[in-house]
Amino acid sequence: MRRHPRRAILVILMTAAGAAALCWAGCARHRAGAGAAPARPASEAIAAPAKAVPLTRQEIDADRERLAAIAGELRQQEDAMNLLRRLVIVDRRGHFSSDETERIQGLLFRFMGCREALLAIGAHYAGRTPVPGDERLETQGFLLGFLASLLDARSTSRLVATFLTNDDVTRKLNESCYRYDIPAGTYDALLGTVTDPAAIERRAFAWDLYAAETRRPESALVQILSTEPAWAEVSAEIDRLQVDTRLQVGYVLHVKAILLPQVENQWRQSWLARHARVSQQVLAGNLADAKGVLYESVSRLRQPLSWQAVFDDEQIREVRAMLQPGDILLTYSAGYMSNLFLPGKFKHGITYVGSPAERRAAGLTPECFAAVPEGPRQKAIAALDRATLPSGEPADVIEAVAEGVIFNSLEALLRTHLFRLAVLRPRLAPAERLEQLTTVFLLLGQPYDFDFDFDDASRQCCTEVIYRALNRRGGIQVALVPRLGVQTLSADDLIAYALKDPRQSFDFRLYAEPASSLGPQRPRLHRGREGEEAFRRLMGL
């Protein structure tokens, strides 16, 4: 039976990316502090193969939109990098201005956040055990994993190449930054990734496998690319990224060869022998050890968050029973765009809206939208009766993610990728709570705010939805915080306000955290005074 090369390609790419993830993994360990998982031997860190879980159309579509959003953010970052390269000059001052320092460090933080998200998506599709029966979805998942890996390679090489000959900026990029949790030596670590001969070889060979697959007329890949224009565009983007990455890496190798000739010489001497050996192994079907290498690499990336909380059925029922429409859920979870830009112990904000019956019981009816213009009113009224997601899961929370402001499921959130959860209840009169919920429903469908600019009301990030629905209601007056040149509000900012506000405009409801740092496990649920004290200790308040 012919071994399909899709998984081999992703294994090769993610193995190449694994070493690159170490610099940001070190940063994540620094961010997590004493509560982070300790380093483990590689043999212990290698994960067991993932269960064969079928891909869904919703998952594929969401990840494709997420990658498109990240690619758009990376293009904006590239424009900012080019501007910095032209304008940031250390003159007689001998140092950067505070504004220049903020721009450089903020840009690096945003880049590293995007990179972490790309590696996570690539690792997800590389680590899957394919499910027989739906070759089309599996092939589309492969394309997404390949695209994520090449977006990472291209953007990393681009950042390195942009500032390679600017000693002043690279020195600044190598400084540690407590405000953004950036460790010292980050630029040098990225440079090492770009010039690593093994990583270059793996990418080149992965491309050879992919190109060979596109030449097999009977392959599922060719059938998809010839019948679905959207996926043909994904393939075209993969082609563009491959070419541009080779150009960027070639430039970096050329400049480094001038400074360090042994780098280029080592790469040239090892390339042919290594390429031939790996080719022989793959053609012979000897990829048994590749999965172990992949999971070792990926475990290094994900290890700082290996203390994942896994809520069981009883705990999910317990959490749900504590909630009422209008409650604010603050989380640290994988996969959210807010992870990319906002440092802190909590990264994401969600509003619980409950079931249609709970909404009606809270007084949320079509009459609440009587003063709203016809189009938005009809859209919001239709959403009031929304009970389930396309997956069949309850539609009981509203959040802003890369796809925009959408419904999601509390149960799905509690079962997947959750590392930390807090629940706060705004102290609002019934009429004020209806105003809050009305605003949240009116924001459904708005696009995501990748600039995190609260002065622009046409787009919403996660905490922006909460801010617009709550601020100046019930005495709540949260001050925005300037970051990256715009007015923002992080989840940690909101928590600090709630815990410090002398008017006590929020009630603490719940804090959940893993019981230990020994891997995914049933979390501890903290309630009452003991829970609030634990929550305050975590936040240092």
- pTM comes to 0.63
270 has pLDDT over 60: no
401 has pLDDT over 50: yes
Q: How far is CA 166 from the centre of its chain?
A: 30
Token representation of residue 236: 């075209």
Token representation of residue 528: 């009452």
Q: 86: pLDDT confidence band, cut at 50, 70 and 90?
A: confident
How does the average pLDDT of the chain come out, rounded? 79
Q: What DSSP state is assigned to residue 298?
A: H
**Distance between start and end Cα atoms, the chain:** 61
User: Exposed, middle or buried: residue 346 (CB in 10 Å: 0-12, 13-18, 19+)?
Assistant: buried
pLDDT in tens, 279-325: 444 433 333 333 333 333 333 333 344 456 778 899 999 999 999 99
d(CA 425, CA 432): 13
Q: What DSSP state is assigned to residue 87?
A: H
Give residue 445's region: left, alpha or beta (phi > 0; psi -120 to 50): left
> Mean per-residue pLDDT for 378-388?
95
d(CA 182, CA 14): 23
Query: 14 with 122: CB under 8 angstroms?
Result: yes
User: Exposed, middle or buried: residue 203 (CB in 10 Å: 0-12, 13-18, 19+)?
Assistant: buried
Token representation of residue 393: 């899961």
pLDDT in tens, 432-465: 999 999 999 999 999 888 778 899 899 999 999 9
Selected residue with higher pLDDT from 234 and 49: 234
Residue 47: its pLDDT value, please? 39
> Mean per-residue pLDDT for 64-90?
85
DSSP string of 384-448, one letter each residue: HT--B-TTSSB--EEEEETTEEEEE-HHHHHHSSEEEEEEEEE---HHHHHHHHHHHHHHTTPPB
Three-state DSSP at 53 gives coil
Which one, of 172, 191, 209, lies nearest residue 97 by Cα? 172
Q: 327: pLDDT confidence band, cut at 50, 70 and 90?
A: very high
d(CA 446, CA 101): 33
Q: 468: pLDDT confidence band, cut at 50, 70 and 90?
A: very high
In the chain the domains, ranked by start, together with CATH numbers, are: 6-304 (no CATH), 313-539 (3.90.1720.10)
275 has pLDDT over 60: no
17 has pLDDT over 60: no
Selected residue with higher pLDDT from 142 and 511: 511
